[in-house]
A and B are shown apart, each in its own frame.
Chain A
């Protein structure tokens, strides 16, 4: 790979794109070999747009219009196993149908890029956004990155290939956008010249592959004597992600001037209360914090990007001196003491001698709107809890009860 250089402005194409379209454009520029996908709202535009590129001969890729999401991920594994660069896209029920094969993709160490437009799970069937689908897959072995804007979705999709295909990692990645809120929302997106993306990514160099000249066996039966060791390998690969991620972001920054980190800190320096969320509520929270700051409130936002691997130490560093951390998350883990994002945070903080209070709000299930007032309401409640010195383990907000 040649050295990465800043791309001059006159080579940048600027367009208004939806989140789905931004991802489709990124995929178009990543020189995929195979894309296997099945339509599902609100992801479908990704596949539709990509198919149009294929129909016009703008990509040199085999698109496999599979008969189910289960087969989509299966075909991706087959293609990845022979060394191809591979992507798919899905959401909600489609992701749920892939479930079994998500674990196979990760454990077989296939660097597949899986773009997800987060959507609620049935039932009742619902097409709108929450995070139940990918949160449910948090233990599948996929890296998970949640994005807030169409630009970030575009950038992250490109970077994802470089991270996943790195031989220190070799894990599949979910690049997540909020269904409809981002997938169907038009924003200004700066697009790199395709040549620059190709130069940045290079061609995938498989670590090992199915090859008639070197006939290996992939996916055997491993029992009590070996299975555990392969799980250890997977964990070590996850541990290698932050370093590779940082290097890829550094290179990307040289080219574009943009980097995002494993999370974004917004006005957290002197913050007494820190809002912890991700995806589009991250944007809402930042806008709300600006208003609260004008009123003299010491509040900031920690917008998570990388949920897997969870940047435990780094997050603790940011929030440890705050009085409280408010979690806003779009998922309910039924019967659990609290919910996925708060569970992670509480675990991360548990060993501190002096811990911030963690307040967990479940919001926005099934696409229920989360306007700035939701953030303000959570903030006000948290101040009350701080006064009382006690908060519930979690509470739902925005539901009629």
Chain B
């Protein structure tokens, strides 16, 4: 029997926790909340495969684990491949009468480094082969675990320890990889962007991802106070703000073709200016220097354009 997703507070309070206290994620990190919300969507027996990264390291420092689900980590770039092995093995052993559970959900989790960059080949392979796996990327915008280095998920204008803002550089100059759409281009049955602030949207989408046959992808925006130089208490607010400025709009893509803007993004009358987002974080403060005024302007135009393109894809005039 599948358990319902918990969307109302009373139901959420009853749902078993999957990640306990005592983990060593930084204060204010949004990733544990993301995992908690994932837990609210679960429908029964689940196995988690994780890549190397903040969440992996800080939740399983031997001899302690914060995980209450069967959980495996092998390496940085291979959770999608490990998960492929898990799901196929479970399925075949069930056929052979060596696996008693009727159904097991397999979830792979990776950060932006493990997903956008080093693990991308494995993810693409997993999608192409069509395993019934939910892959969730918690995207905190850089290799935060190794000390805030730029990744394919880093925003332009963001300062990291490998994309310094200096006299001649405004931080990262390149675009962020459009990962959700790249994943969708595999004709993946279900792709959704989420953030932990909009928790009901998150849980609803994660549940859809579990229920869809074949692979599904969840791109979760995950504020990182340590790396972003933001206030620890502001993480949920920043997740919302990133949606409001258009840096992490909320939408779904079905079968790679059908786009649907999600409520919080759909209800925006217009995007808030990027300045509102940038001023909350030390990693963007250099952008307010006069020498980067033009660069800043170009980034705003880029986001405006992306927003219009996305709206068009979603059928919004």
State the A residues within 8 Å of B (CB): 33-34, 36, 60-62, 64-68, 70-72, 74-84, 86, 100-101, 104, 108, 203, 210-223, 225-226
Contacts and interface: CB of A to CB of B under 8 A. Distances in A.
Interface of B: 45-47, 49, 56-57, 60-63, 65, 67-75, 77-78, 80-86, 88-93, 95-96, 98-99, 101, 104, 121-122, 124-125, 128-129
Nearest to A101: B75
A104 B129 contact: no
B122 A83 contact: no
Given A60-B96, A79-B85, A101-B78, A226 B63 contact: yes
B81 to A, nearest CB: 4
B71 A66 contact: no
A43 B193 CA distance: 42
Contacts of B89: 33-34, 62, 78-80, 82-84, 86
Contacts, number: 160
Given A77-B85, A221-B60, A68 B122 contact: yes
Given A64-B129, A71-B80, 17 more contacts: A34-B89, A70-B121, A75-B82, A78-B72, A78-B89, A79-B89, A82-B47, A82-B86, A82-B90, A82-B99, A84-B93, A101-B74, A212-B47, A212-B69, A212-B104, A214-B70, A226-B63
| Candidate in A72, A75, A77, A225 with the most chain B CB atoms within 10 angstroms | A75
A223 B128 CA distance: 37
B88 A64 contact: yes
A55 to B, nearest CB: 16
A36 to B, nearest CB: 6
B61 A61 contact: no
A37 B213 CA distance: 24
A222 B62 contact: yes
Contact of B72 (A60, A86, A210): A210
8 contacts: A33-B93, A34-B89, A62-B92, A66-B84, A78-B49, A101-B78, A215-B67, A219-B73
Contacts of B77: 70
A82 B121 contact: no
Contacts of B65: 217, 220
Nearest to B64: A220
Nearest to B71: A217
A67 B83 CA distance: 14
Given A75-B82, A77-B85, A215-B70, A221 B49 contact: no
A60 B61 contact: no
Contacts of A101: 74-75, 78
A221 B75 contact: no
A82 B89 CA distance: 7
A79 B83 CA distance: 8
A215 B60 CA distance: 13
Contact of A34 (B46, B60, B85): B85
Contact of B78 (A70, A217, A218): A70
Given A34-B88, A203-B98, A221-B56, A210 B70 contact: yes
A180 B46 CA distance: 44
A60 B92 contact: yes
